[in-house]
Amino acid sequence: MPEHPDYEGFALSKLKEAGHRITMPRLAVVRVLARSERPLTPNGIHSEIAATGGKIDVVSVYRILSTLSSLGLVHHIGSVDAYSACQLDTGHGHGCEHLICTSCGRVEELPVADASSIAVTDQSDKAGFSVQAIRVEVLGTCPECQAEA
């Protein structure tokens, strides 16, 4: 049950669109990200690929992540210092919200409903701040983990 319906296709077309080549290492990274329910570190991605019989250098993982990142295809999640596939159209310039379960580590990605309002709403004295992007990380416990407890 991949978190992203067709992240692979989505990512590959974005890559092409940006004039990048579809290579095996890139495919491998994209696939691993697509299937992972939790954010992965560069090392995690590398081992994941290795575990699946794939062969790729960690260095390439870094480079590929950086490429994907510039295309908005992955998000670096600060609070856990790892990367997660991102399929939201970042075209509208806002950002997205991550629900991070501190128990199972799973990450849900959601569009920030009304990005700029978060910033502006609660502080009228900061209203002059022009919002380019927003990143929201919500740490907590997902329903499943609550049930287990």
Summarize as ranges the residues that interact with DNA (CB under 7 A).
16, 20-26, 41-43, 55-60, 62-64, 66-67, 81
Identified binder of a copy of itself from the candidate list 21, 53, 123, 124, rule CB under 8 A: 123
Closest CA to 24 of 2, 3, 55, 45: 55
What amino acid occupies position 143?
P
Q: Give the count of beta carbons closer than 10 Å to the beta carbon of residue 85.
A: 27
What is the nearest approach in angstroms of DNA to the Cβ of residue 67?
Answer: 7
Closest CA to 40 of 86, 95, 8, 7: 86
Rounded Cα distance, 118 and 135, in Å: 11
Q: In the numeric block, which tokens belong to residue 112?
A: 């920030």
Rounded Cα distance, 84 and 71, in Å: 13
What is the nearest approach in angstroms of a copy of itself to the Cβ of residue 20?
Answer: 24
What is the nearest approach in angstroms of a copy of itself to the Cβ of residue 46?
Answer: 21
Q: Give the one entry of a copy of itself, DNA, none that residue 35 binds, where binding means its C-beta sits below a cut-off of 5 to 8 angstroms depending on kind.
A: none
118 lies in the site for a copy of itself, by CB under 8 A: yes
Residues that bind a copy of itself (CB under 8 A): 76-79, 81, 97, 99, 101-102, 108, 110-114, 118-119, 121-123, 126, 128-143, 146
